[in-house]
């Protein structure tokens, strides 16, 4: 009977340990870097391109964290792209295509992006990528 009563006494202790382990595991999962295999997915920013404009034309991304920029060119009649010369980021999509690219932007600031196709930037196809703390 002594072993049985000791088991009942230890039950709340085991429950508390199990609860602490679950809380610790949840906190560890929340702190994983987006680039850790099996970790959280990178943030996703979707930019729609049409003939000579982006929507939205200004996007904010967190500095130092993985972000996937998706260029949705599905409604466009021609190829379009996003080029951020200051950061060396380039993404191109054919007419009717949606493409994405994951990157980590460490340099903070405001950086112009535009479509590199001849005449597109001049026709107004440009925007602003703002990298900083969200």
pLDDT band (50, 70, 90) for residue 96: very high
Total domains, the chain:
2
Extended strands (E) in the chain: 43-50, 53-55, 58-62, 66-72, 80-84, 89-93, 98-104, 109-114, 126-132
Is the same domain home to 23 and 63?
no
Query: Element (H or E) spanning 100, and its range?
Result: strand 98-104
* Pairing mode of beta strands 98-104, 66-72: antiparallel
User: Which pair of tokens denotes residue 75?
Assistant: 């409604």
pLDDT band (50, 70, 90) for residue 97: very high
Is the same domain home to 70 and 108?
yes
Measured CA to CA, the distance from residue 14 to residue 35 in angstroms comes to 35
Question: Is the confidence at residue 109, as pLDDT, over 50?
Answer: yes
Is the same domain home to 104 and 126?
yes
What's the pLDDT score for residue 114? 98
Question: Is the confidence at residue 16, as pLDDT, over 80?
Answer: no
Does 38 reside within a domain? no
Alpha carbon distances (Å) from 6 to 3, 16, 28, 32, 70: 5, 16, 33, 39, 59
Is the same domain home to 79 and 49?
yes
Is the same domain home to 51 and 109?
yes
pLDDT band (50, 70, 90) for residue 93: very high
Is the same domain home to 10 and 49?
no
Does 37 reside within a domain? no
pTM tops 0.75: no
Q: What is the DSSP letter of 27?
A: H
Range of the domain at 116: 43-132
Q: Render pLDDT for 25-80 as a digit per residue (tens, 0 to 9).
A: 433 333 333 344 455 678 999 999 999 999 999 999 999 999 999 999 999 999 99
What's the pLDDT score for residue 26? 38
């Amino acid at each position: 009977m002594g072993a049985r009563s000791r088991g009942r006494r230890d039950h709340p202790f085991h429950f508390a340990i199990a609860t602490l382990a679950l809380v610790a595991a949840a906190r560890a999962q929340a702190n994983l870097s987006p680039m850790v295999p099996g970790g959280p997915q990178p943030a996703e920013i979707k930019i729609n391109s049409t003939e000579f404009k982006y929507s939205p034309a200004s996007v904010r991304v967190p500095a130092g964290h993985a972000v996937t920029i998706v260029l949705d060119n599905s409604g466009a009649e021609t190829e379009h792209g996003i080029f951020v010369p200051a950061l060396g980021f380039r993404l191109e999509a054919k007419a009717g295509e949606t493409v994405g690219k994951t990157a980590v932007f460490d340099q903070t600031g405001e950086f112009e992006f535009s479509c590199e196709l001849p005449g597109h930037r001049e026709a107004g196809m440009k925007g602003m990528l703002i990298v900083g703390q969200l």
